[in-house]
């Protein structure tokens, strides 16, 4: 879930407050966009009258931004629109001083401290735009957003700030997924709304099924994960699992918790590339002792991996352990919002955890990495087989 469920609410500066597109089509809108906006506003965030709602997304997603904006207004709330330009973050990283990187704009602190809800839409036109940026600058930017992250997670955990994250299909995402744009659009909308006639009803039924898994996990203590070049033990004693049912990530489909910080022992090899801030790190292998990553290697971009792990001491500890349950997502696409939900997978995040799980990790990063368990993988909990070959071994 995390950053991926994007937990670092930082935008670069200057902030663009609104955008006008000449010649915008008023008549022909994909009905799936209207349905997705309905899901985001009325179910995921459940906007209420008089709430202050941040709507934040890229200019390429204008049609979805407009529909979300309209629905927030009709709900009686107060929308604040931030439109992100494709050149924005790279321009900031190339030109900002270290001091500027370490001090996010004050408007961000105001939003994170006071707003009732956030609807975040991602839509990169070039997913490789930041690959040549100095990883030291990337690390400084992440460290500078540490306080924002902590406040955001605390208010989210208490229910003071609701949020939802989705993506808008772009050519860049389609290329990463090795699909045409039309194929990728179909993939995205089907993953978000498997039942287009009643998407809200669909996710309510998913919620009920996953609640049975969470009830079974309640009170359990020890987890043992076995897979290809993976043998890892960790503790969930006193920690709470969360039912991910499209209230935050859209699409959704996982159950997750924050493992006891000092408990991880063993090693894990991640099946898929680990992508963070536009950097793709492949062949990631981590070794844990007393919860801490004591050794980390990668086949590609190992230096970036180590830089991110060294953003703080707590960045070398786990903040999340999760099982992906969305069988409609059956392939890796390079988008963590989808990939972490792959049915038959598990993922863990180094760095910040979600306070509602009981996690105490307040690192400035949250980096999800995914393992496929569909070929010989197992998850044992308190000595009982919970998961085998990508399926629950218990009838829920």
Output 312 or 10, whichever has higher pLDDT.
312
Backbone angles phi, psi at 197, to 5 degrees: -70, -30
Question: CA-to-CA distance for 258 and 264, rounded, in angstroms?
Answer: 11
Question: For residue range 272-288, what is the model confidence (pLDDT) as tens digits?
Answer: 999 998 899 999 999 99
Whole-Å CA distances, 222 to 78, 164, 242, 347? 45, 31, 17, 17
- Among the residue ranges 26-30, 81-85, 315-319, 326-330, the one predicted with the least confidence is 26-30
State the residue for tokens 């009982």: 384
Residue 22 pLDDT greater than 80, yes or no: no
pLDDT tier, 78 (very low <50, low <70, confident <90, very high otherwise): very high
Question: For residue range 28-46, what is the model confidence (pLDDT) as tens digits?
Answer: 789 999 999 999 999 999 9
Question: CA-to-CA distance for 322 and 318, rounded, in angstroms?
Answer: 11
Q: Which H, E and C letters describe 239-251, residue by residue?
A: CCCEEECCCCECC
Backbone angles phi, psi at 165, to 5 degrees: -125, 130
Torsion of CA 169, 187, 153, 306, to 10 degrees: -80
Domain ranges across the chain: 31-193, 201-392
- The arithmetic mean of pLDDT across residues 320-342, rounded, is 94
Question: For residue range 92-145, what is the model confidence (pLDDT) as tens digits?
Answer: 999 999 999 999 999 999 999 999 999 999 999 999 999 899 989 999 998 999
Question: For residue range 246-273, what is the model confidence (pLDDT) as tens digits?
Answer: 999 999 999 999 999 999 999 999 999 9
* DSSP SS3 for 97: coil
- The arithmetic mean of pLDDT across residues 72-78, rounded, is 98
pLDDT of residue 12: 39
* DSSP SS3 for 253: coil
Helix axes 31-38, 62-74, angle to 10 degrees: 50
Question: CA-to-CA distance for 2 and 75, rounded, in angstroms?
Answer: 28
The residues with which 318 forms a beta bridge, in sequence order, are 350
pLDDT of residue 113: 96
Residue 3 pLDDT greater than 70, yes or no: no
pLDDT of residue 1: 59
Q: Which helix (H) or strand (E) holds 338?
A: helix 336-339
Name 180's Cβ contacts closer than 8 Å, sequence gap at least 6: 174
Average model confidence (pLDDT) for the chain?
92
Question: CA-to-CA distance for 351 and 240, rounded, in angstroms?
Answer: 18
Helix axes 146-158, 106-114, angle to 10 degrees: 10
Question: CA-to-CA distance for 396 and 387, rounded, in angstroms?
Answer: 12
pLDDT of residue 396: 87
CB 350 within 8 A of CB 312: no
Question: For residue range 157-192, what is the model confidence (pLDDT) as tens digits?
Answer: 999 999 999 999 999 999 999 999 999 999 999 999
pLDDT tier, 214 (very low <50, low <70, confident <90, very high otherwise): very high
Record: fold of 31-193: Thermophilic metalloprotease-like (3.40.1830)
Residue 85 pLDDT greater than 60, yes or no: yes
Residue 14 pLDDT greater than 50, yes or no: no
Residue 18 pLDDT greater than 70, yes or no: no
* Structure tokens that stand for 360 in this block: 């105490």
The residues with which 296 forms a beta bridge, in sequence order, are 286
Question: CA-to-CA distance for 304 and 284, rounded, in angstroms?
Answer: 11
């Amino acid at each position: 879930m995390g950053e991926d469920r994007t937990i670092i609410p930082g935008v670069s500066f200057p902030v663009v407050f609104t955008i006008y597109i000449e010649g915008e089509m008023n008549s022909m809108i994909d009905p799936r966009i209207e349905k997705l906006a309905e899901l985001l506003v009325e179910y995921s965030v459940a906007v209420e009258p008089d709430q202050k709602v941040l709507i934040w997304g890229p200019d390429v997603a204008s049609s979805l931004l407009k529909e979300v904006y309209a629905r927030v207004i009709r709900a009686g709330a107060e929308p604040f629109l931030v439109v992100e330009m494709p050149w924005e973050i790279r321009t900031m990283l190339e030109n900002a001083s270290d001091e500027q990187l370490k001090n996010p704009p004050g408007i961000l602190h105001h939003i994170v401290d006071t707003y009732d809800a956030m609807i975040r839409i991602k839509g990169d036109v070039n997913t490789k735009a930041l690959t040549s940026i100095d990883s030291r600058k990337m690390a400084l930017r992440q460290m500078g957003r540490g306080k924002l992250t902590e406040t955001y997670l605390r208010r989210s955990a208490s229910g003071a700030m609701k949020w939802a994250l989705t993506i808008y299909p772009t050519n860049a995402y389609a290329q990463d997924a090795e699909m045409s744009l039309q194929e990728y659009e179909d993939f995205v909308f089907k993953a978000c709304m498997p039942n287009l006639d009643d998407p809200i009803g669909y996710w309510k039924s998913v919620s009920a099924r996953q609640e049975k898994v969470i009830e079974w996990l309640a009170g359990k203590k020890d987890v043992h994960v076995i897979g290809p070049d993976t043998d890892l033990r960790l503790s969930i004693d006193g920690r709470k699992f969360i039912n991910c049912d499209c209230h935050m990530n859209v699409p959704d489909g996982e159950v997750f918790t924050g493992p006891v910080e000092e408990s991880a022992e063993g090693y894990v090899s991640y099946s898929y590339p680990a992508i963070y801030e536009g950097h793709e790190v492949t062949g990631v292998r981590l070794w844990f002792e007393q919860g801490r990553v004591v050794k980390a290697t990668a086949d590609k971009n190992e230096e970036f991996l180590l830089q991110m792990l060294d953003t703080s001491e707590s960045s070398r500890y786990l903040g999340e352990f999760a099982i992906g349950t969305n069988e409609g997502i059956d392939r890796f696409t390079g988008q963590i919002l989808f990939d972490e939900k792959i049915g038959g997978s598990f993922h863990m995040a180094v760095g910040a955890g979600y306070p509602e799980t009981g996690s105490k990790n307040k690192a400035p990063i949250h980096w999800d990495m995914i393992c496929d368990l569909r070929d010989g993988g197992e998850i044992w909990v308190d000595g009982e087989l919970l998961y085998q070959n990508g399926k629950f071994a218990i009838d829920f």
